[in-house]
Amino acid sequence: MRTKIAAGNWKMNKNYQEGLNLVLDIQKNTQPSDVLVILATPFLQLKEAIHITRYNPHIKIAAQNCHHEEKGAYTGEVSANMLAAINVEYVIIGHSERRQYNRESNEIIAQKVNAALKAGLKPIFCCGESLEIRNEGWQERFVNNQIERGLLHLSAEELESVIIAYEPIWAIGTGLTASPEQAQDMHFSIRKKISEEKGEKLAQNMSILYGGSVKPNNATQLFSQKDVDGGLVGGASLKASTFIPIIQALENDPT
């Protein structure tokens, strides 16, 4: 059975104390269940967030990025080894904002995936298309190309540590959301690609998350889709009052 995951990507939000207060609030208001909660805090809160949640097996902490090199003259960057040294377990790689604003190519993202796995981290690999590509009807080809160039050099065993997050760029922070049917179609396409290249067993065991304006009022419909195993949530993860209902929607999902 695939792991159901509610992941929150805080991006560049919350000062040090605000972030720790949010970790405490989420932990206080979640009960043990079959849902794994992952909180991707800014770098400055990582170590203390891990300390706060150290006895809670249902909440894990993720970094939002790592560098593809182990060390060197890369001012302002953080390596996967540095994250592993403070017991970070997960790292987001290939988010559309990193691809766009930092010009991260598929090749660099593949190197980051390699670095993360080498350090013992579990990548949350992001993929997704622009509105222009969707309007042209090329979304499946585009996303499958991202997966092929970013992930499929890995062995099946290595891929077992990877979570895929499908985030249509046109639905990130815009208020637009892919319909449940659109999300299901793309998740099915991703799982089919993994199955064709690496085997049906791996594909059926891999968690694939939807990201793109997930909110309490649409989470239930999105999570009810057969191939949607949870969400990578942006804005709604910045308040316990909006993130907890998303976690609960996933807990109540029978699929």
pLDDT interval class at 147 (50, 70, 90): very high
Rg for the chain, CA atoms, rounded: 17
- Burial class of residue 103 in the structure, from the number of CB atoms within 10 Å of its CB (0-12 exposed, 13-18 middle, 19+ buried): exposed
Q: pLDDT by residue (tens digit) across 181-195?
A: 999 999 999 999 999
Catalytic residue selected from 95, 97, 104, 187:
95
What would the two tokens of residue 228 be? 């949607």
Amino acid at residue number 114: N
Q: How far is CA 243 from CA 38, 70, 160, 249, in A?
A: 11, 34, 27, 10
Q: Across the chain, what does the average pLDDT equal?
A: 96
| 58 in catalytic set | no
Judge whether 248 and 20 are in contact, CB under 8 Å: no
Nearest Cα to 5, choosing from 163, 172, 187, 123? Answer: 163
pLDDT of amino acid 57: 96
pLDDT of amino acid 255: 73
| Mean pLDDT for the stretch of residues 149-160 | 97
Catalytic residue selected from 97, 129, 140, 167:
167
Distance of alpha carbon 26 from alpha carbon 24, whole angstroms: 6
Distance of alpha carbon 172 from alpha carbon 212, whole angstroms: 4
pLDDT interval class at 254 (50, 70, 90): confident
Share of the chain above pLDDT 70, in %: 100
Which domain does 171 fall in, by range?
4-251
pLDDT interval class at 171 (50, 70, 90): confident
- Number of domains into which the chain is organized: 1
| 95 in catalytic set | yes
pLDDT of amino acid 172: 81
CATH number (domain holding residue 32): 3.20.20.70
Q: pLDDT by residue (tens digit) across 11-31?
A: 999 999 999 999 999 999 998
Q: pLDDT by residue (tens digit) across 207-249?
A: 999 998 899 999 999 999 999 999 999 999 999 999 999 999 9
pLDDT of amino acid 47: 98
Amino acid at residue number 87: N
Q: How far is CA 124 from CA 5, 30, 131, 133, 255, in A?
A: 11, 22, 23, 23, 22
pLDDT interval class at 1 (50, 70, 90): confident
pLDDT of amino acid 174: 79
